[in-house]
A and B are shown apart, each in its own frame.
Chain A
Amino acid sequence: MARIVVDPITRIEGHLRIEAVVENGVITDAFSAGTMVRGMEIILKGRDPRDAWAFCERVCGVCTTVHALASVRSVEDALGIKVPPTAELIRNIMLTTQYIQDHVVHFYHLQALDWVDVVNALKADPKKTAELAQSYSSWSKNTPGYFADVQNQVKKLAASGLGIFANGYWGNPAYKLPPEANLLAVAHYLDALAWQKEIVKIHAVFGGKNPHPNYLVGGMPCSIDINEVAAINSERLNLVASLIDQAQEFVTQVYIPDVLTIASFYKDWSKYGGGLTNYLSYGEFPTRGYNDPDAFKIPRGVVLNRDLSTVHPVNTHDSQEIKEYITSSWYTYTEGDSAGLQPWKGETHLNYTGPKPPFTSLEGFEKYSFLKTPRWKDQAMEVGPLSRMIVGYAAGRSDVKEVVTAALGKLNVPTEALFSTLGRTAARALDAELAMSYLREFYDDLMTRVKSGDVSTFNGEMWDPKSWPQDAEGVGMVEAPRGALAHWIKIHDGAIENYQLVVPTTWNGSPRDAKGQRSSFEQALIGNPVGNLDQPLEILRTIHSFDPCMACAVHLYDPQGRHLHQVSFE
């Protein structure tokens, strides 16, 4: 038996440590630890709720926009603000843009090197590589000359120090791709890097910049006027349209086919990494206002025990449904560390009891992470693209069924293959494919509104805090690229009284709860093979399939160990 430590887990956002117990080449237990904390929630206390989006957006620059959106929605929920339909469309356009950019970057730049051997690409025949690429894609760059150029580029790099590719696990027998597929993936790694900076220009058009575009409580800050040079006009809308066309080409001609091609060499990974059997989605993309989830593009709900016959309803306002535990986290609760607290009543005080740095292992410590442990009706949930596909499938959404069935057919694997590291990776690509079609639809709807002249982007009825009740509370949900995200806000006398975030990687990457139930990362690692204890490739494969975002996951902290709800601001 061996206990292996992987820290830092690289190619993710933030600071994650995995300790895994390996017996006879198989993982039998695992511990997931978040090792960085900033204290966003305490910083928010006492501030103007209309400013909170800007603070919250800085929770994460990889998932930029999603926390800003969750924040403005939480304030709008608390104050009963209805966002104008045009602003809702712009928000949808920005969020679908984020889905697509985020998923592509995750696949090529964060995940691919677990499956693609960069050095092996030097052995490829560029002509055969082009034949392989052209067999499933009509993308114009897939030519022998192009692949030869890329190969030369890698050759030069290898001769002069590999930079970010140095000390990789090249040559590990777990890499199964032929040289041509490796070269293809390396070339598209570079193409994706060049393309991702283009699609985010959509954020710059509507939000002024990316990362971290601007949002606004009650709508969006940009104005539309096709007869004004300084507003969103025909030129700006044309730019968005051309970026959408470009994105469509990249997603359908490069990303989706690459994922399916690479997956076809790794079908054995449909046996590993399934993890939990419960899936949660908050649903997303309102088409008739946020309070009408039946009209969402992606449905809201929970699937339990992989039973696709039932979708259970989810209510984030309910005092019993979602609770956070700290049994294994570096915090304490007044009622005792086995209690679970609903976020509006969230109580947060830090109690680091781990070893003093520098240390080598967290073994033997009951508490081992800065992540709290959220549960839905006391059950552990997986969140993310796979959950969206499963909830969508179970809810009978035809667009979801169509892309899932097509992908399973192309890979020639059964439906059960979805519940795996491979399935989770493929689900992300299908998620991007759906987001692409929604993006186009939202753009068309926006143009329809522009033609009709009904382009108001802001509802100012409740902008003035004098119009607010003395006390208000709200929840802002977003089905973010990485999964179910929600912010709980309490407003008192025009200022933030309490603010709590429960984010996707907190669901997936948290430590054990009071009952000892594991969360997604830990559960999914169990049963994974580890071929070489010194090269934790298999651990990276399964962890990366979740697209962890640690800065999002850890944000709570109170330094003095006070009970935050007792702090007086009077």
Chain B
Amino acid sequence: MGQTIWQSMQQKGYSRREFLQFCSAAAAMAGLSQSSIGQVVSAFETQTRPAVVWMHFQECTCCSESFIRASHPTVADVLFDVLSLNYTETLMAPAGFQAEKSLEDTIRDQAGKYIVLVEGSVPLAADGVYCMVGGKSAEAILQTVAKDAAAVVAWGNCASNGCVQSAKPNPTQATPIHKLVDKPVINVPGCPPIADVMMGIVTHLLVVGETPELDDTGRPREFYGRRVHDTCYRRANYDAGLFVEAWDDENARKGYCLFKMGCRGPVTYNACAVVKWNEGTSYPIQSGHGCIGCSEAGFWDNEPFYQHLPEVPGFGIESTADKVGGTLGLVTLAGVATHAVLTNIRKKSVIAEQHRDDPKE
């Protein structure tokens, strides 16, 4: 440690101009205005590579996979120049107790200064035996790691909301991080989150040295402040009443709105339609499938996915998205309280109802 990001870039042969360009890109990703670039530059010039540990609990590693898809900056740039990733089971060289040593060293030597990134939920049922690393429960590990952390980031829908394993009946009592940690948690939902959104948040934290502005569910407003529906390029079709009526029909080829095919864009807050995926290549709607709402809490229980939203009482095409969000939220809350078996009955009856009532038939 001990080397600033600017020193490290200098030694790599980057010019001052290139360094400023890097800062500018970082600022853009962090959602900072041009006027704050001075602040970015000063942060990079004076900070050493901060220590970061990446914990893996009940997850599928899609967040790690997404992270390495980042394009600006790339993950190699970040690992070599921006931060010191001292622990991640997915990429680190050592295994077993040497791996645990990397974690223990960081907690001890960087107390109060390291950042914890969490991928995965924590199962509370049965004394935590449903996720164990090194013979210790995920919950015990989380508490140890979070205690002296400078910041805690919950990557993805698992850590933010529990995701698929917390869908009814949540067999392992999969629990999101913010319910377990006694300090503020930055929630970065999505299954997974967009790579460059993850980088934007990491850069924001490290550059500004403080958490980005969060909404009331702990999500950074810069990426989760707008509905997919409101930023979607197909929105004009929705407003004009032009809809895809069946998969791969003529309207699908014309790129009409996927609302009737079950698109959850109207109730989903995410940056997909703006930042897009894989260096701006596409996003689900652009490639013909509706949004499934993967950055929302409880979205797995807002199914069947191909049932369109008007099934929710009070929602019509002319309703505002705000109204829809509120209505659907209530349905979700009610669902959470329902017993598992009852839930399955409900789901089945909803499916059956849909079959009867589907206007297409």
Decide whether A and B are members of one complex. Answer: yes
Which A residues form the contact surface with B (CB < 8 A)?
5-15, 17, 35-40, 42-43, 45-48, 50-51, 54-55, 58-62, 64, 105, 109-110, 113, 118, 149, 152-153, 156-157, 159-161, 163-169, 190, 193-194, 196-197, 200-201, 203-214, 216, 218-225, 228-231, 239, 352, 354-361, 370, 456-458, 460, 463-466, 493-495, 535-536, 540, 551, 557-559, 567-570
Which A residues touch B130, using CB under 8 A? 36-38, 370, 557
Report the bound CA distance from A39 to B62 in whole Å: 18
Task: Say which residue of B99, B136, B170, B247 sits within 8 Å of A460 (CB atoms).
Answer: B247
Task: Say which residue of B171, B284, B288, B304 sits within 8 Å of A47 (CB atoms).
Answer: B304
With A167-B101, A208-B277, A218-B247 as contacts: A465 and B165 at CB distance below 8 Å: no
Q: What residue of chain B has the Cβ atom nearest to residue A112's Cβ?
A: B93
Binds A, one of B176-184, B207-215, B249-257, B327-335: B249-257
* CB <8 Å contact, B171 and A61: no
Q: How far is the CB of B360 from chain A (nearest CB, A)?
A: 8
Q: How far is the CB of B304 from chain A (nearest CB, A)?
A: 4
Report the bound CA distance from A363 to B345 in whole Å: 44
Can you name 21 A-B residue pairings with CB atoms under 8 Å? Answer: A11-B92, A12-B89, A35-B132, A38-B164, A55-B164, A58-B191, A61-B64, A152-B12, A160-B8, A164-B85, A167-B94, A214-B289, A224-B253, A225-B254, A230-B253, A230-B255, A357-B137, A359-B135, A466-B361, A495-B348, A551-B59
* CB <8 Å contact, A228 and B255: yes
Q: How far is the CB of B342 from chain A (nearest CB, A)?
A: 10
Interface string of B110-128 (1 = CB under 8 A from A): 0000000000000101111
Which B residues touch A211, using CB under 8 A? 62, 65-66, 69, 192
Report the bound CA distance from A360 to B60 in whole Å: 26
Which A residues touch B68, using CB under 8 A? 105, 109, 193, 196-197
Which B residues form the contact surface with A (CB < 8 A)?
1-3, 8, 11-13, 48-49, 51, 56-66, 68-71, 74-76, 79-80, 83-86, 88-96, 98-102, 105, 123, 125-137, 140, 163-165, 167-172, 174, 191-192, 195, 234, 246-248, 252-255, 272, 277-279, 281-289, 292, 294, 300, 303-306, 341, 343-345, 347-348, 351-352, 355, 358, 360-361
Report the bound CA distance from A193 to B170 in whole Å: 35
Task: Say which residue of B79, B91, B99, B164 sits within 8 Å of A43 (CB atoms).
Answer: B164
Report the bound CA distance from A532 to B359 in whole Å: 69
With A40-B165, A194-B74 as contacts: A557 and B247 at CB distance below 8 Å: no
The main secondary structure of chain A at its interface with chain B is: loop
Report the bound CA distance from A194 to B171 in whole Å: 38
Task: Say which residue of A161, A167, A559 sits within 8 Å of B84 (CB atoms).
Answer: A161
Report the bound CA distance from A480 to B170 in whole Å: 28
Q: How far is the CB of B32 from chain A (nearest CB, A)?
A: 24
Task: Say which residue of B8, B51, B355 sits within 8 Å of A465 (CB atoms).
Answer: B355
With A149-B13, A214-B284, A569-B348 as contacts: A48 and B303 at CB distance below 8 Å: yes
